[in-house]
Amino acid sequence: MTLKKSVSVFGVTGSIGASTVDILKSHADKYSLEAVTAHRNVKALAKAAIELDAKCAVIGDPDYYQELCDALSDTAIEVAAGENALVEAAQRPSDIVIAAIVGAAGLKPTLAAIRRGARVGLANKETLVCAGALMTAEIAKHGATLIPVDSEHSAIFQVLEERAENRIDRILLTASGGPFREWALKDMKTVTRAQALAHPNWEMGAKISIDSATMMNKGLELIEAWHLFPVAEKQIEIVVHPQSVVHSMVEYSDGSVLAQLGSPDMRTPIAYALSWPDRIKVDAPRLDFATIGGLNFEAPDTHRFPALRLARQALQEGGTLPTVLNAANEIAVEAFLEDRIGFLDIAHTVEKVMTRLGSDALTSLEQVFETDAMVRRETSACLASA
Ligand code: NAD
Ligand code: MG
């Protein structure tokens, strides 16, 4: 009999959270549940906690504490609420933490898991975007292990040959191109919320769906990849691949390109983060190459998708600029989702805020939290005065 590994799932009610629950349920002999968390969705949180027999359930918004207590009153599951409770949940002794909160809100709990040397399956890319260098330093200091869940980074992680790390020529980060890949710029002006949310290949939460439509998602992933893998910024190329079958590639100095392929189903990279260095069975749809027929690749268009240019600029200039980019984007996406601004205004807003605030040297995590809060205020003010 093998010992079960204990897992905590942050953001269990989201899209990544639900896929994680699905895997954990089908491998109940291998994994037990420590903590599960959500922001406000008490019903789904309580359901996941009961189904997976979690020891503890935490709701981020304290206004929902009583509702959660009521929902779990017949169980022995511990209940807590608030931002500090999320951090305490990450400090509980689980072997693996799946970090699947969306946005910079995931930073503190992810950091707490890293600081106790846990294995973190990282979906929450915003953590690395806002505080990448500080996070990787914390990982090294505390002997934590970071396994990427983002499909592209999982792909790179899977094809990265440790022995040949200094022989990498390029990382080729694939992008689906989103729903507006073939749209003219003038038509993109009037894009609706529903059109932007309808991703051609992936079913995801609202924020990342909008990020995919603006291609900011690929920009954030560029920064994420730079922090995760030993390459220079210039060595990371983005290539549009509409079928989302090749999840990313690594080119070595002898010209060999290694790719990881699979159907667009996040359960595969999530399972790998849970089972690494082993693999477990996942009933994701299998690729039928004869039906797929062809795989296409094209260069990204930074004119129609300026978010790609902005993210690369943030990576090149460094300091607090990626933190600024991320926070401004979160506020702009929220405004678009609430029909307060148009689709193209998302990247315009981010650019305006980046230009206005510029970049400072990044020295501490406190500075990241302060910058994040300040940029949110500045961006909201900028939108209110527009
Ligand atoms: P989602 O919106 O479906 O779920 C987000 C989760 O975070 C929910 O459980 C929500 O309750 C929780 N949450 C939101 N705000 C919070 C707050 N302030 N405090 C505490 N909890 C909060 O998002 P998702 O699509 O599952 O994405 C989650 C993360 O994974 C994102 O960083 C995203 O970029 C990344 N990711 C997602 C996918 C995907 O296919 N969905 C793929 C790759 C990476
Ligand atoms: Mg991705």
CA distance 148 to 140: 16
Average pLDDT for 98-122: 98
Pure H helices in the chain: 15-26, 42-51, 65-71, 83-91, 107-115, 125-142, 151-159, 185-188, 193-197, 206-214, 216-228, 267-275, 289-292, 306-317, 321-337, 343-357, 365-385
- 210 Cβ inside 6 Å of ligand 1: no
Bridge partner list, 57? 36, 79
User: For position 162, what pLDDT does the model report?
Assistant: 83
Average pLDDT for 201-213: 95
**Is the per-residue pLDDT at 219 higher than 70?**
yes
Report which ligand 1 atom has the smallest distance to the Cα of 123: 30
**Is the per-residue pLDDT at 2 higher than 80?**
no
213 pLDDT band (50/70/90 cuts)?
A: very high
Quick one: which ligand is closest to 18's CA?
A: 1
The domain covering 5-148 belongs, at the CATH homologous superfamily level, to: NAD(P)-binding Rossmann-like Domain (3.40.50.720)
**Nearest CA, atom 41, ligand 1:** 204
User: For position 237, what pLDDT does the model report?
Assistant: 98
- 264 Cβ inside 6 Å of ligand 1: no
Using an 8 Å Cβ cutoff, are 169 and 235 in contact? yes
For 238, phi then psi, to 5°, come to: -100, 130
**Nearest CA, atom 39, ligand 1:** 204
Quick one: which ligand is closest to 238's CA?
A: 2
User: For position 31, what pLDDT does the model report?
Assistant: 98
1 pLDDT band (50/70/90 cuts)?
A: low
- Domains in the chain: boundaries: 5-148, 152-185+193-264+288-301, 318-386
User: For position 10, what pLDDT does the model report?
Assistant: 98
The yes-or-no answer to whether 5-148 and 318-386 have a common fold is no
- Only one residue has tokens 């189903």, namely 265
**Nearest CA, atom 36, ligand 1:** 123
Q: Kindly state the percentage of the chain with pLDDT values over 90.
A: 96
Note if the pTM is more than 0.85. yes
Average pLDDT for 61-67: 98
The CATH topology of domain 318-386 is Rna Polymerase Sigma Factor; Chain: A (1.10.1740)
**Buried/exposed code over 22-35 (b: 16+ C-beta within 10 A; e: otherwise):** bbbebbeebbbbbb
**Is the per-residue pLDDT at 167 higher than 60?**
yes
Q: Kindly state the percentage of the chain with pLDDT values over 70.
A: 99
